[in-house]
Structure 1
Amino acid sequence: MAASLLLAGATAAPALAQQAYTVQSPDGHLSARIFTGPQLRYQLLRDGETLIDTSAISLQLSTGEILGKPALVRSQHKGSVQQIISAPVYKRKTVNDHYNELTLALKGDYSVVFRAYNEGVAYRFATSKKAAFDVVNEEATFNFPANDSAWVPYVRQDNPASFDAQFYNSFENTYTVAPLASLDSRRLAFLPVAVNAAGGKHIAITEADLENYPGMYVNGGHGQTLKGVFAPAPKDIEAGGHNMLQGVVKTRQPYIAHCEGARNFPWRIMAVSTQDTQLADNDLVYKLASPSRVADVSWVKPGKVAWDWWNDWNIYGVDFKAGINNDTYKYYIDFASAHHIDYVILDEGWAVNLKADLFQVIPEIDLQQLVDYGKQKGVRIILWAGYNAFNRDLEKVCRHFSEMGVAGFKVDFMDRDDQAMVNFYYQAAATAAKYRLLLDFHGAYKPTGLQRTYPNVVNFEGVHGLENMKWETNSDQVTYDVSIPYLRMLAGPMDYTQGAMRNATRGNYRAVNAEPMSQGTRCHQLAEYVIFESPLEMLCDAPTNYMAEKECTELISAVPTVWDNTMALNGEMGQYISIARQSGNYWYVGSLNNWTARNLTLDLGFLGNGHYKAEVFKDGANADRAAKDYKREIIDVPANKQLTISMAPGGGYFARIYAE
């Protein structure tokens, strides 16, 4: 890691009624102004234009102190950092981490740190206290200068009885777009959220390095202000919920976090874009996460997964009864092996129901036999586990299944992000790493950089993924698909689970549990393997359906899941998106469209000089009526590197580009 650090000397500052401090981004466009005195406040500006107006921040402690009220400066430190971060499981091999930093040491054994990057600004509190304390509440406000529209994913409760009821949720919903003052003040929204600003700018709000602390929601409907809201820490938790696999909070503490003395608090991130594509190619969460705590990550193997649950184990043309049994999973393993797919997952059902005990396996499943069979075929097994079943004896579970030869776990139904649940994520990640197990957190809050700290955590849900097409009749998934690259994906990888071979136009779609379909075209599904960041990428459909679609299956199985480089080419939030990703000598380009037919020109100038060819999958001439219609062809990339493409309503485009 190459790094340069320039620190200005500490300078004493008198405790005046109010003082102002400024930190600027390396390119000089963004700046944060911090005001101290009676109340700690900040402003966010770009080229002198106010993006976030003066906003108060503070921490209320159980000792009676309020860190930030007042804010009396003892000293300041300014610094500049430029370093290269190695990123072994990410959308690029290396990340350029360049920022200017201001640290204000404040009376009361605490400090506030502001970092200014070219792509956004972040701040965090830190304390040097020696005694334990509780954080009763945190004040995190975002005052916007105009009543601009916001993109918010509400917690999915239309008429919530209280804020507390909303702290129990799956962190998946489509986006509501409305002026800030028109947001529903009764409802919480989970992060990331984004606010439009003048001149096509966006300010996206999220967080990073969320350790031993609850996640932040935002609440609107207060004029032009978004307010941070945090779940109180649980006091009494009982097993309950889905198949007794969830932790149901019965009572809560009068604080949001218990802290053992000195600590850093999470980063509050405000990513800024002047073009929408900048949000689709932003690294702030990864940069602000704690560095890897896993010394050797060579055993972490991202890849593709043949998945059983979405397709309802619905295979056909076989002489055995398909379901949760060894014959079915050997069929999945054979399919994965034949198509160079790294993993097969055993989703819910392999362990005895309602026991929350992973050591009680149903008689139809012989796990060791499946693991050994997969090993012979070059395919490893991942096991689904409900939260309670996984957490009740974390060390024993990880040790036992690692010794068996299992590759990892998909852990589901956490559905909270209070302090206790956040701590579970870290404990699970550390224990799984000890036994060289991968983790995919399903039923999860959005990523906050844990995937950098523990690279064996390869995926997170926290997304309104394709599973919802099994039962939802009114959701506009296609529009959602061209929104999440700018919003949810800003936080990190997504366990979206694409790959449907049954595809439907807007008018033909219907929810079918046992034979589900996607909204949009076949090429929309194929392009998602490029567009969506997901180091552990599932093939959601049935092996039988894939084997009937040889071209598409070969394409899906060949697309990498981690990358050497990534760049967003063009797009508009909620309209369309094009992204290029490099792996070795190949560039993969994907485009996704909303429900409006569209022609685009892709600038492939990054290829440089030379002659290039592309394997292309594009919407067929009749894809607007028969969504599965597509055409594969080999084309010459134009000499001027300007490639014009067409996409049907709900369409997509895929290209694999290589030098001739």
Structure 2
Amino acid sequence: MKNLLLTTTLLAFTLFGCKQTKQNHVFKNKEKTIVLTFNLDKNQRPFYTISHKNTIVLDTSYLGIDRSDSNFYSNLSVLNVSEAKTIKDQYTLFHGKQKEITYEAKQYTVSLKNEDDKQLNIVFNVSEDGVAFRYEFPKTSDNSYQIKDEKTTFNFNKNTKSFLQPMSKAKTGWEHTNPSYEEHYDMEIPVNKPSSIKEGWVFPALFNTNQTWIAITETGLNSNYCGSRLQYNNTDEALKITFPQKEEVFTDGALLPESKTPWLTPWRVIAIGYLKTITESTLGTDLADKAINMDTSFIKSGLASWSWALLKDDSVNYDTTKQFIDYASTMHWSYCLIDVNWDTTIGDEKMKALADYAKTKDVKLIVWYNSSGDWNTTPYHPKSKLLTHEDRVREFKRMNDLGISGVKIDFFGGDGQSMIAYYHDILKDAANYKLLVNFHGATLPRGWQRTYPHLMTVEAIKGQEFITFFQDIADLQPSHCATLPFTRNLFDPMDFTPMVLDSIPNIERKTTKSFELALPVLFLSGIQHIAETPTGMYKQPDFVQEYLKDIPTNWDQSKFITGYPSKDVVIARQKGDTWFIVGINGENKPKTLQLDLSFISSKDGYIITDKNETFDKTEINSKNLTSIKLQPNGGFVAKF
């Protein structure tokens, strides 16, 4: 009782004593487990707090917009607060952690007026697993307005542990290709710790506060807004939404958001609950824009062979590509990816021959493009072929004529509004030519896979490519991979390009074989590009090869079993009547994990684990798999 009274007192103090000027407006989810309170402070600035099961998880956090013509963040007055409106949505994803998804939330709209008598609405959705909000300028105008700054903050207490990926400095890195969301995560750091790069933190951002987990991201990012990130703001003493660096633009394009009105900004998404709640949440696509009207008959997810991952530039030739087409066919994989410089090392005539040959093997081809105009100095080609609508129409028609099924487009230039518009333009034009799309050297997709179902995957991670180049990055792979299901890969497909079972030239791999074997199921990607070569694959036991011939990428549902970011993770994924259970140990020490697989009931299957530098396969019933022993940096896969 004493603890309950203390919690209630703290809640009342925070909700009703923090600088408010009038009565609080309280917004709850249907379950009444998440409560958002809205008010204006003494300077008429809008703010909110959020509690989860009667415990404050976000304290006084500010809202508002600084628009080029007017202030929408202070000296505001409340025009109206709507009654709760039930929002329901059902949709299907072509790939990801869950196929058929139902979203339900209570929606509240706060209408505000500023000193210029101009209106701003803030729309709040409160659901079972979190909160989302966005800004709306509802009045129709032919004038274009620019948003100079967004005042949104997220105020965590000082004891919060954060798992954050730094944003890189624009125009740095190899051939000036940053930023591409390719840094390692800082683990369990204070929220007010500045990034070592000084450019803030990318989405999704993960927090553990007052025994509650929170993941923050954005979705519904349209071509009239820029991508954003988080930066600790010393004035507000909170993490704040901030906009891209000035260099992050398409050639001579806009940096900041600009649009006519009415105008809706992207959703700010806050998933809230236990780690299981966060990991299984679909809020990142629940709030994304619905799918465009397009022919989806050509969309098929699956695995792909890929020579460049381990063999690099010299492998992009006719003979090696034919071998990798045969490899994909033998493994029952749907795709073969052909990487850089193919336009000269193979050429159109031989590419057409390869596509025709692949068709006889029931394999489809994906080819690489350089997105770049002048925003970096990358030498790889074909380059600068997609910069205008006319360019894309010409190039995509050419791909259709060659029999190509998809494009991998690399080396984008950041998150400025003009660069975000470039992504949308590519996706729209690719849809018209029935081409699958993979973005590399790219931004976080922010739910675009729902809006554009042919967007199969996006890199935006320090993945296998970096491991093949740098030993220090290979050394960090175990903890890095054990973090990604809770962060980067939480809502959006991730082209980590996983799995090396044999060896990496000039690199000492730190993970076990079973760790690597778990990754194609652990990680979510519409097309899972496999790094292992035919030579490396054919060294593996027959039972491992057979397992890899039947790996889905379009899961019916997924369940979090156990884990902790950077330390370990076990995930269950279902396709039809079959369950795949996979897990990895992110630490260099042996451990035993307890598993609750009661939801599977009783199914016969097998488990593959590490044994003496190779694999061990054991027949097992799911009801008997109650714990698993993992080697240091080890893993396992089970199939029932």
- d(CA) in 1 for partners of 2:413, 2:507: 24
Q: Is 1:211 matched with 2:222?
A: yes
Give the structure with the larger helix fraction: 2
1:358 aligned partner: none
Decide which of 348, 351, 371 is 1:367's aligned counterpart: 351
1:488-518, Cα deviation, whole Å (9 max, x unpaired)? 1223111011120236xxxxxxxx6x46564
Shift of 1:306: 0.3
Matches within 5 A, 1:374-453: 374-388=358-372, 389-392=384-387, 393-453=391-451
Structure 1 gap ranges (5+): 1-15, 239-248, 315-321, 353-360, 504-511
Contact 1:480 1:574 in 2 (8 A): yes
1:51 aligned partner: 57
Contact 1:313 1:542 in 2 (8 A): no
Shift of 1:103: 0.8
Amino acid at match of 1:602: L
Contact 1:147 1:181 in 2 (8 A): no
Shift of 1:221: 7.0
Change (3 A) 1:336 1:606: same
Count how many residue pairs are aligned between Structure 1 and Structure 2. 589
2:516 aligned partner: 525
Decide which of 533, 544, 565 is 1:573's aligned counterpart: 565
Shift of 1:236: 7.6
Shift of 1:110: 2.7
- d(CA) in 2 for partners of 1:441, 1:83: 28
- d(CA) in 2 for partners of 1:161, 1:414: 11
- d(CA) in 2 for partners of 1:613, 1:646: 20
Decide which of 225, 231, 238 is 2:244's aligned counterpart: 231
The alignment partner of 2:449 has SS state of helix
1:59-115, Cα deviation, whole Å (9 max, x unpaired)? 111113325642432452420123432223332221120111101122323311011
Shift of 1:362: 5.2
Change (3 A) 1:235 1:602: closer
1:344 aligned partner: 336
Contact 2:461 2:488 in 1 (8 A): yes
- d(CA) in 1 for partners of 2:499, 2:177: 31
Q: CA RMSD in A?
A: 2.6
Decide which of 135, 150, 157 is 2:147's aligned counterpart: 135
Change (3 A) 1:48 1:73: farther
- After TM superposition, the score normalised by the length of structure 2 is 0.87
Contact 1:294 1:433 in 2 (8 A): no
Shift of 1:415: 3.8
Amino acid at match of 1:220: Y
1:273-321, Cα deviation, whole Å (9 max, x unpaired)? 22x232221100010001111344232000111011111159xxxxxxx
1:131-156, Cα deviation, whole Å (9 max, x unpaired)? 32111111121111334221111124
- d(CA) in 2 for partners of 1:337, 1:236: 41
Contact 1:133 1:260 in 2 (8 A): yes
Amino acid at match of 1:259: S
Amino acid at match of 2:395: V
Amino acid at match of 2:38: I
- After TM superposition, the score normalised by the length of structure 1 is 0.84
Decide which of 626, 636, 640 is 1:643's aligned counterpart: 626
- d(CA) in 2 for partners of 1:455, 1:654: 29
- d(CA) in 2 for partners of 1:345, 1:31: 48
Change (3 A) 1:73 1:581: same
The alignment partner of 1:548 has SS state of coil
- d(CA) in 2 for partners of 1:418, 1:161: 13
Provide the identity percentage: 25
Contact 1:500 1:517 in 2 (8 A): no
2:305 aligned partner: 306
Change (3 A) 1:420 1:89: same
Shift of 1:380: 0.7
- d(CA) in 2 for partners of 1:172, 1:53: 31
Change (3 A) 1:342 1:208: same
Decide which of 103, 123, 128 is 1:97's aligned counterpart: 103
Change (3 A) 1:142 1:161: farther
Change (3 A) 1:161 1:270: same
The alignment partner of 2:308 has SS state of coil
Q: Is 1:202 matched with 2:213?
A: yes
The alignment partner of 1:231 has SS state of coil
1:8 aligned partner: none
1:10 aligned partner: none
Shift of 1:168: 4.2
Decide which of 199, 208, 211 is 1:187's aligned counterpart: 199
- d(CA) in 2 for partners of 1:365, 1:32: 61
- d(CA) in 2 for partners of 1:64, 1:656: 59
Matches within 5 A, 1:491-510: 491-502=491-502
Change (3 A) 1:236 1:147: closer
- d(CA) in 2 for partners of 1:364, 1:76: 60
Amino acid at match of 2:46: L
Contact 2:244 2:416 in 1 (8 A): yes
2:556 aligned partner: 564
Moved more, 576-585 or 64-73: 64-73
Moved more, 521-530 or 66-75: 66-75
Matches within 5 A, 1:82-121: 82-107=88-113, 108-121=118-131
2:273 aligned partner: 273
Amino acid at match of 2:185: Y
Amino acid at match of 1:477: Q
Structure 2 gap ranges (5+): 1-19, 373-383
1:598 aligned partner: 591
The alignment partner of 1:182 has SS state of coil
Shift of 1:430: 1.2
Change (3 A) 1:482 1:232: closer
Shift of 1:551: 3.2
Shift of 1:17: 5.4
Shift of 1:197: 0.7
